[in-house]
Chain A
Amino acid sequence: MRRNYVELHARSAFSFLRGASQPEELALQAGALGLGAVALCDRDGLYGAPRFYGKGKECGIELITGAELTLDDGAVLPVLVESRTGYQNLCQLITRAKLRGTKTHAPIHWNELAEFSEGLVALTGDDEGPVQRCLDRDDLAGAGERVERLRQAFGKANVFIEVQRHLRRGEELRIRQLADLAHAERLPLLATNGVLFAQREQRAVLDVFTCARHHTHLDAAGRLLSTNAERHLKSAAQMTRLFRDLPHAIDNTAALAERLQFRLGDLGYKFPTFDVPDGETESGFLRQRVFEGARERFRERFDERTRAQLDKELSLIERRGFCGYFLCIWDLVNFAKAQNIMVQGRGSAANSAVCYSLGITACDPIAYHLLFERFLSEGRNVWPDIDLDLPSGDRRESVIQEVYRRYGQHGAAMTANVITYRGRSAMREIGKALNFSPDVLGRFSALFANGDFPHTLDLQAQLTQAGIPVSHPRAAAACELYQMIKALPRHLGQHSGGMIICQHHLSSFIPLENASMPGRVVAQWDKDDCEDLGIIKVDLLGLGMMAVLQETIQLSEQRGRKVDLYEVPANDPATYEMINAAETIGVFQIESRAQMATLPRLKPKCFYDLVVEVAIVRPGPIQGGLMHPYLKRRSGLEPVTYFHKDVEEVLKPTLERTLGVPLFQEQMLKMSMDLAGFSGSEAEELRRALSFHRSHERMNAVIVKLRRRMQEKGHTEEVTEQLLQSVQSFAVYGFPESHAISFALLAYASAWYKVHRAAEFFASLLNNQPMGFYSAATLIKDAQRRGLHFLPVSVVHSEWVCTVIDDDTVRLGLCIVNGLRREHGAQLLIERTRMPFTSVTDFHARTKLTRPELRTLAKIGALNDLETHRRDALWQVELPIDTEGLWEAHPPSQTPADNSEPTPLAPMSNWERLAADLSGTSLSIGKHPMSMLRAKVPQAWPAADLPRAANGTYLQIAGQVICRQRPGTAKGFVFISLEDETGVANAILMPELFERYRLLITSESFLIIEGRMQNLENVIHIKADRILPMRENNLSLAASHDFH
């Protein structure tokens, strides 16, 4: 007889090392097996639930929500959710334990189960469950007592005795005991398979994870490993056969599943309302704020057209009930501004005139003809997405803490970031389990070329090169495991800026836990999960350049030459001259190698050119083959056409500003509106379907619709096909125009400050490292080439941060000293303020610096103002000083006299000073290392001389590697930048050359590259032919910026 069976106890890989399948895989397999529903019970969380729910909707599998709860006696109790109250109780129960405990140990107390039991059903669990643990100890009375405690907590009707049969010898006795217990206690027996993986083969993954949990390897794990592979998802027929002796245990699963009516789509989440003054409504209050702001921001452009646009947007916002949301964001932005924190909205919000009027975004959407529907439209049942850029560091943290303050610890959280197993981490875990030696795993990792380029080295070849040949008895297992483990979740981090907030307790909707960062609370779902379930996210993103600009403006103000961001003069010739010359190191967005290679060809002359520059060097336009047509049309090498002659008139207004080449998402949306008659929401639906990789059906449906509507509009097959092709080619990666404008604003401003406030700008850049594309060492060399002077770190003159001395001079701060702790630096400054240091001995006695810190300061010359030379200081700092009670005993006027003998050590040579600077600060304000190595490579061309070489010349360049890049769009080509004492030289490597020299390229800090010179429109590259290491240097260098 065929019975209904529902699997009510399954764990996914989101149980972290306790499950081996993605939730989506479980849902798919459940669909294939014809199971109607599955209860996902991940360990101490609901981590995998949204993913299962999403995939389950596609394949007709219901998700029954549940979790395994770790109790304070070590037992693991599975609970299932019956109602929304039960769901909220479960979230709150988990949150309470998680916020109370540590990351690895956060048990729930037995005595708090009753408080949160309403709407939950408890199972007695598997061999880790409270009952079976007693039976394992032959403690039958204890087992009965545990059942009674569960019954007391959850109620008689909500406790089920769980039995599992995994075909292991000895388990029949346990099943018999459980059946007897159920009979004696008059509780229903419930069969489950305690699923740990979707498919039988994934047992291997679980064994590897078991080894990782127990810090052992497969050869030593013994009986810790699975007995067999039976804990996979099984069909109703398989389970019925397995429990043919206990058919009621199978029947009970279907009966219980009927009771468990709660579904994840029914969360009941609400965004917080905004407290408006008495007598006001949210919509009225918002309307007032918008029009107030609009008058101020649009000024003379506040005309009928603007008013109409605002009306249109506001009425849509009101209809959709988003007024509170906009007001909350507006209030947060106001808070930031009141705290003197620079803030700027990015992303599609910049398409909204309402956002611009509220001061959330910085670019005028009406002036730039931006498409509001990209941000918000009638038919889209999703929340609008507003991302705020804030200066990274403390300022952003203060805004985040303000959100916590406003909504409470249980009312706001960062979204999670699921860290998955990727190439290196996957093989490291596998290698440890397979007992490979650490150096083999180290070599395997080193063979990866990072970045977004698909890894080109075949897995087996990579293993062979690392020392595991095909013939190795475990090579096959390593390869299979690698494919299975890759992309499985490894641990949960926190998203860089995504915050979710809620009208009531957020912990009633998502379990929250402590982040590793103090003061932060993180939700168990990532931003996509939250979005899928309709939970609104506000991105508070840290942007290093915002911090730099804010600091630059502050420093300028201190020096009486402040120019605020909005005061930066437009169309400044000197700024565009620098941009055209591609001297953009340190400039926002347009400093990368690819950007710098494009600038001399695009030759930006106005702000909109910069917008195009920001957007065009992107995977989408490059892969879509849009970059070259645009550049050709710009240089007049190709005529400007508008898609197809049949639709030229229709599309010209949309495509005119990009010379007929569709570069932006907004243009694609508008084209579909103009040609196919799509509404704004249909166009946005098209974009989302194309970028929504999870559903092919959804994508196909919208493409079919677009084709049909094009045909209905009477367009030819040729035009239709061309549009479809264009839409598909760049919709996935295409850049939003509003986003490009927001970024271009910062790019232009940073370029302007680099030209006109160079000292302040570079000081700020150095103070906000690490950020951007280049190391501090490269930034300093660039600044020096632009005529800026740097003064060394000095304990007598330096502050903690780099400071501006005059328009052309920057004093390096103590912050750049490697290994100097901030609190020690602060104490040093306090002591210096109290009384100047008179000697090294005095300095040593009055500061609390450690011996290594003292040595570093002496080595880099920071004590030179107290001694004659670096070695003198090194000699003096080693003298023991009795600091015990020194200051209590002696007032400042009685500072110990410096009676030390002169040093017998010789002063450092130039080379020694350079080496000391590099090891102590990772940079040098003196000569570039290459100036001293130049004699060893007399044949190499200095970077500054390359423009004089004839195109096609075979030559050699040499220098320090500052950047290695392998963009995903470059078909395997690799770009390397070598810095020497005269500038930066760039080389291009063919994919096969890179493969040949892979380890050399990734491991050497100085390289010699031979090849043929290419000069295309003043963009100079060496097409590499041969690569050699420069071995004779013993310098510890700043890390290069690789593969980004």
Chain B
Amino acid sequence: MPWFAAISLPQFQLQAALRLREEAWAEPVAVLDGSTEKGRVLEMTATAAASGVLRGMASTQALARCATLRVMPRAAAQEHALAALLLEGAHALSPFVEATGDGVCTVDLRQLKNDDWEPWARGVVQRFAALELRACVGVATNPDLAALAAARAEPVLVVQHPGAFLAGIAIAEVDAPPELVAVLRDWGIGHLGALAKLPRSEITERLGPAAGDLWERASGRSHRELCYARPAEVFFETFDFEQPIDTTEPLLFILRRQLDQLTLRLREAYRAAGKMTLTIALENTAATYERAFTIPSPTTDAEVLLRILHTHLENLRLEQQPIGLRLLIEPVIGAASQHQLFESALRDPNRFGETLARLSALVGAGNVGVVKMDDTHRPDSFQLVDPQFEKLTASTEATPSESRATGLPLRRFRPPFPAQVHLRRYLPAFVFSEKAHGEIAEAAGPYRASGTWWDREAWTAEEWDIALTDGALYRLSKQGDAWFVEGCYAA
């Protein structure tokens, strides 16, 4: 007889929201569905439940019942991480694992021989407890039954007699279409046992195949094949040095060997390196140095990958000596198509990437990238973003409106030069600064802009364009009472 184990993380959304906050379990806490105005309660701690907070209740009513209730939004990233952890943990038990739902995995136990599953299941619970996860395990002869058992396990439940077990399970606890559940509720069918007593053919005739499936589950006869899930593939190698090292050569030597291994594995898996993360453990400290590299053109060429690391390490200064390293590669599927005939992509994106890495090492990681203008009226507001190598083309032409708005090109002084400006009848008349100095023949402005007034980062800007008597054109700005020369216009 085949056996299946369902591993469930009860109150999955709450566990995710309270991860690493063990003390919060003793407090009244509820996780809300923040996407609706009602803010319905999804899950709550036992303390909150004791105060009358129920699942599905509007947050206002929940707060009315429990004034000290702490309401939290869903933690999507944590839920994702928890799901990955669960899957990883399940794979340690068997290669045949299904990601059944939020916080539930089902494991096919056919390859394991066991007469008494309960001690095994308790062991699983303990393994997850070591990861600070509250898990429940249900073991039964089919996957659906196992999932139901896991939902009722405290924390372990092995179903030996499916009929008796199913009879007491409320239909509301089962994953079934809400409309079907509502009809059954009107029928007075609250438990699976009652449903199983109804004639299957009559149910299916009236309520359709979904009801038939539910009946199968209610009678313990359902069987389905698991839809196997594989944990996310990552390729990594680690190495611990016997002694702290003080030059880059040993590092590069080890990294070269690691890359040979990793690229070999990548090629075998028909994958290429898309991202590389280097983690260096440092002497006498728990802290590590970590740096991620996006590979401009995913590759399995160890030489190319080493060059990227080499360039970075050449200029790296660490406060402690390295005592270990870990190199992790996130794989992607290699490029499947060639570039179009008239599309002039970068000839060697990896070389370009290497150049950027050299620049980054020289000027700092935050100061290299592709300029992207912010969608704001704020003058000179931009970000440096990672280049999207695959989209880079030879040139892009400015639209007519952009060219007109630009006028003469402005060469910005970074940072701007402080200036003294004298006004005559509200207009700038003289400027004194390191860069621009003299009588102002003509001034256009002020040009005023302001924004982000709704936040603490509210800003205002006042600018003037000036022509000095010698014909030079400058841009002035006024911030508070201070004046600056922002740049000069060049014909």
Contact = CB atoms under 8 A, between A and B. Distances in A.
Contacts of B32: 439
A781 interface: no
Contacts of A904: 197-199, 202
Given A168-B447, A439-B34, A880-B205, A905 B375 contact: no
Contacts of A228: 377, 448-450
Contact of A227 (B64, B188, B198, B377): B377
A470 to B, nearest CB: 13
Contacts of B447: 167-169
A1003 interface: yes
Given A437-B73, A438-B35, A999 B449 contact: no
Contacts of A207: 453-454
B228 to A, nearest CB: 37
Interface class of chain A by DSSP: helix
Interface string B27-70: 00000111111110000000000001000001111011100000
B375 A223 contact: yes
B206 A434 contact: no
Contacts of B61: 999, 1003-1004
Interface string B202-215: 10011100000000
Nearest to B445: A167
A481 to B, nearest CB: 8
B39 A473 contact: no
B456 interface: yes
Contacts of A878: 183, 206-207
B29 to A, nearest CB: 14
A949 interface: no
Interface stretch (A251-259, A349-357, A441-449): A441-449
B376 interface: yes
Contacts of B37: 438-439, 441-442, 445
A76 B187 CA distance: 61
A834 interface: no
Interface residues of A, number: 62
Contact of A1029 (B65, B73, B199, B445): B65
Contacts of B377: 223, 225, 227-228
Interface string B186-228: 1111000000011100100111000000000000000000000
Interface in A987-1039: 997-1004, 1029, 1031
B446 interface: yes
B64 A1000 contact: yes
B414 interface: no
A114 interface: no
Nearest to A876: B206
B182 to A, nearest CB: 9
B188 A906 contact: yes
Contact of B187 (A227, A439, A905): A905
Contacts of B444: 172
B341 interface: no
Contact of A443 (B63, B183, B401): B63
A241 interface: yes
B405 interface: yes
A228 B378 CA distance: 10
Contacts of B375: 222-223
A867 to B, nearest CB: 14
Contacts of A225: 377, 451
A854 to B, nearest CB: 11
A477 B453 contact: yes
Interface class of chain B by DSSP: mixed
Interface residues of B, number: 53
A173 interface: yes
Interface in A225-264: 225, 227-230, 241
Nearest to A204: B453
B400 interface: yes
Nearest to B458: A477
B486 interface: no
Contacts of B448: 167-168, 227-228, 230
A999 B198 contact: no
Contacts of B198: 904
Contacts of A467: 71
Residue among B73, B374, B450 with max Cβ neighbours from chain A (10 Å): B450
Nearest to B426: A241
Given A439-B36, A442-B36, A871-B188, A477 B60 contact: no
B60 A443 contact: yes
Interface in B461-482: 463
B115 interface: no
Contacts of B199: 904
Residue among A218, A225, A228 with max Cβ neighbours from chain B (10 Å): A228
Contacts of B113: none
Contacts of B38: 439, 442
A227 B446 CA distance: 13
Given A439-B32, A442-B60, A855 B453 contact: no
A263 to B, nearest CB: 36
Interface in A194-242: 203-204, 207, 218, 222-223, 225, 227-230, 241
Nearest to B36: A438
Interface string B385-417: 000000000000000110011000000000000
B35 A1003 contact: no
Interface string A878-891: 11100000000000
Contacts of B188: 871, 905-906, 908, 912
Nearest to B376: A222
A428 to B, nearest CB: 9
Nearest to A909: B188
Contacts of A477: 453-455
What 7 A-B pairs are tightest by C-beta distance, nearest first?
Answer: A439-B39, A222-B375, A999-B64, A878-B206, A442-B37, A446-B60, A1003-B61
Given A878-B206, A998-B64, 18 more contacts: A138-B400, A169-B405, A203-B453, A218-B454, A225-B377, A228-B448, A439-B34, A439-B73, A442-B36, A442-B58, A473-B455, A474-B454, A855-B186, A879-B206, A901-B202, A904-B198, A997-B64, A1001-B64
14 contacts: A168-B449, A207-B454, A218-B454, A223-B375, A227-B450, A437-B39, A439-B32, A439-B71, A443-B63, A855-B186, A878-B206, A878-B207, A880-B205, A1003-B64
Interface of B: 32-39, 52, 58-61, 63-65, 71, 73, 183, 186-189, 197-199, 202, 205-207, 374-377, 379, 400-401, 404-405, 426, 444-451, 453-456, 463
